[in-house]
Amino acid sequence: MGENWKDRFREPPEEFSVIPFWFWNGTLEPGELKRQMGMMKEQGIYGAFMHARAYITTPYLEKEWWEAISACVEEGERIGFHPWLYDEYAWPSGTAGSTFEYGFQHP
């Protein structure tokens, strides 16, 4: 193996980047999300799980939510960052942040 493995461990290739949870709360603003993606990339992080958290004020799974997701996907393609969609908002899994009541989505 030689010394090369130590160098690769210190500075791993992008495909071995850590993929942290990117906690989203407050109002999602595409410009701010893009800025944060750039900051992560500058630190050697090339992807993150977009994760809705308590106190998010952007309506979950509604138009503004998907606009924020789209902005991140487009910016990710542009800068070489991989945003991952994480669907565990307001556990337990599968409740979609309680947007569904008795099997029907609220209007």
Return the CATH architecture of domain 15-96.
3-Layer(bba) Sandwich (3.50)
67, 30 Cβ separation under 8 angstroms: yes
Which pTM does this prediction carry?
0.78
Which tens digit of pLDDT belongs to each residue from 19-46? 999 999 999 999 999 999 999 999 999 9
**Buried b or exposed e, range 57-92, using 16+ CB within 10 angstroms:** ebebbeebbeebbebbeebbeeeebbbeeeeebeee
Q: What is the pLDDT of residue 39?
A: 98
